[in-house]
Structures are given as structure tokens and as C-alpha cells.
Amino acid sequence: MYFEAFIYDYAASCLGDKYSKDHLDKLDFISKWLIIPKLITGKEMSKSGQAYESLKRLHKDRNSLVHLKSREINFNSEEMVNYLKAREQDIQDSTKNCRKALKHVVQELLEIDPDHPKVMLAIQSRNKRVGWVEQRDTHQ
């Protein structure tokens, strides 16, 4: 949700709330990340880069969590244990991808629009968060 909110806020701050709501809000997640920077700067996120791939994976992960399909499982079975382990691993993988996506997207947006205040705030926030995570991980 952070990525969705960020790109919308970036658009609204540059193009206006009304224009963003009327013309950009209904775009799909990936299209927003391609079209909005291009509208603002004339530059598009590289479709062959890590940021684009991370966003695609993030969107897939989000959909699998939000639109989780119900299924019958025997609660006393090995099937249940295996299912829960697989879901836990999926969530851990999604979390790792989210961190990677944040890094790659912020880097690419910095290349596209280095002077925009929203981009600068995202970089500062990311750097503080990365420092905190690295510090936390070394103490565990």
C-alpha cells in the first residue's frame, strides 16, 4: 500500500489532486509507476530494470494475500502443516521483496526526478529504515 500511496501522492503534488483523481487514480498499479513519472519528467521507469521487476512481484504478492482463495484442509493432517509452512515462506519472501522493491524503486525514481521533495523524503526515510534494520539484524 505504501507504493500505491506514494505514486499517487507524487502525481498529486506535481499534477494536482483533481487531475490525478480524474485521470490517473484508476490506472493499474504497474501502469501508474510507468506513466506518472513520464508525465512529470518525460522519463519512464526502465521495464528491464530491477525496480520494475520488483514492482511486478510486489503486485503479485499483494494480490495473493488480498485475494487468498479458501480451500478445504484437514486440520489434523500433514497437509495443514505443509500448507502453513508454505504460506509462512511466501510471506517472508514477500517481505524481502518489499524491501528490495523499496531500494530499487527509490533509486530509479531518484535517477528520474532527483530534485522532487517527495523523492528526497522517500530516500531519507528509506536510508533511516535500512540503517535501523541493519542495526536490528546485527543485534539478533
Q: How many CA atoms lie within 13 A of 19 on its CB side?
A: 11
Angle subtended by helix axes 78-112 and 117-138, to nearest 10? 140
Q: Yes or no: say if 20 and 8 are a contact pair by the CB < 8 Å rule.
A: yes
Q: What is the pLDDT of residues 79-112, one digit of tens each?
A: 778 888 888 888 888 888 888 888 888 888 888 8
pLDDT score of 122 more than 70 = no
- HSE-CB at 113 with a 13 A cutoff on CA atoms is 25
Task: Tell me, yes or no, if the pTM score tops 0.85.
Answer: no
